Structure 1
Amino acid sequence: MKTQLLTTLGNAKNYTLGVAEAMPEQHYDFKPTAAVWNFGELLHHIGYGIGWWKENYIRQQPADWNPPAAKAGKAAAVSYLKKAFASLEKSMEKVPLSDEVLSGFYATLDHITHHRGQATIYLRMNGIIPPEYVY
């Protein structure tokens, strides 16, 4: 089962990074309306959320919601996402599976999917076709 979970996580990571890479650097500050995050901030939120969900629901170590400010630029956002996914993968490899861990894992994926869906809309609003989803 753990192999299947890690495969699912790998697919989520690859698609999320593909979405991040598809947006040109000059559009990382794009936001469709003033009330939402720009593209880079949205990706930062995904990365921070991965770590927060991992700590609270997979490692079961209470952590406050206290995200740092997003660093500007594509390279920073992509790097942050890669580190977040690597940390989650490492935790999933080590942690014994339980109902709580599985629930936390799937909640983490749901959060990633929710915001990645928003990111694909940002791409389309800039005339960019999102990468093909592979599962």
Structure 2
Amino acid sequence: MLQYLIQEFENEVKSTRKLLQAIPEKDLGYKPSPISWNMGELAQHIATIYYWYVGAFTMDVYDMSSDQLERGSTNDIKATLALFESNVELARKAFESLTEENLQTDWKMTVGDKVVLGPMPRANVLRGFLFNHTYHHRGELIVYLRATGNKVPNMYGPVYEDDAPQEY
């Protein structure tokens, strides 16, 4: 199972990279509603999820309050892309610590004494908290890109913009 999860990770890293690279600096401040993140904050959050692989794979209890990740400005897409690439490398190294057996060991996330996720088998953390969490926010980012008139990159095949009727 682990080899398939690693393959999915690597394939999806490519898709996430394409999506983050499609964000124009001029639209980083776009915010679809008062309670939403702006595009720069959402992009940085997606890049940050890759950092959480380290805590999910190398610790049985990951205390978010004691973990400090240096992030650049949400108004600088190059800084977000650099954060993403750095975090992907950390995630790859963390994958090296995984075995089929420890995919079944329980894991939980805390903020101080408060449990915010788990306990659950680490395989569920990988699928639910890391993979699906990324996919969810990438979907939001696609809506942001379209709402600002930007082209969405193809990640799983052609996208609407590739086949849309051209207006002249």
Same fold by TM (over 0.5)? yes
Q: Secondary structure at the match of 1:62?
A: strand
- Percent sequence identity is 22
**Pairwise CA distance, 1:36:** 1.0
Structure 2: runs of 5+ lacking an equivalent: 105-120, 158-168
**Would the alpha carbon gap of residues 127 and 15 (structure 1) be closer, same or farther in structure 2, given more than 3 Å must change?**
same
Greater RCO (Cα-Cα under 8 Å, separation 6 or more): 1
Show CA shifts across 1:48-89 (max 9, x none): 23323541x322242225776651311011111112222112
Q: What is the TM-score with the length of structure 1 in the denominator?
A: 0.85
Cα separation, partners in 2 of 1:113 and 1:36, compared to 1, 3 Å: same
CA distance in 1 between counterparts of 2:70 and 2:41 reads 11
Number of residue-to-residue matches in the alignment: 134
Give ranges in structure 1 of 5+ residues lacking alignment.
none
Distance 1:67 1:119 in 2: 22
Residue in structure 1 matched with residue 89 of structure 2 by the alignment: 86
Secondary structure in 1 matching 2:124: helix
TM-score by length of 2: 0.70
**How much is the aligned-residue C-alpha RMSD, in angstroms?**
2.2
Q: Greater strand share, 1 or 2?
A: 2
- Kindly report which structure 2 residues correspond to 1:16-95, keeping only aligned pairs within 5 A, or say none: 16-52=16-52, 54-55=54-55, 57-59=56-58, 60-65=60-65, 71=73, 72-95=75-98
1:65-116 Cα distance to aligned partner (Å, 9 max, x none): 5776651311011111112222112111222232223222112001100111
- Distance in 2 between the 1:104 and 1:19 partners? 23
Q: Which of 91, 105, 124 is matched with 1:103 structurally?
A: 124
Separation in structure 1 between the aligned mates of residue 49 and residue 26 of structure 2, nearest angstrom? 25
Q: Secondary structure at the match of 1:95?
A: coil
Q: Which has the larger radius of gyration?
A: 2
Distance 2:149 2:3 in 1: 37
Judging changes above 3 Å, is the alpha-carbon distance between structure 1 residues 8 and 116 closer, same or farther for their aligned structure 2 residues?
A: same
Q: For the Cα contact (< 8 Å) 1:31–1:38, is it kept in 2?
A: yes
Runs of 4+ in structure 1 deviating by more than 3 angstroms, as ranges, are 65-70
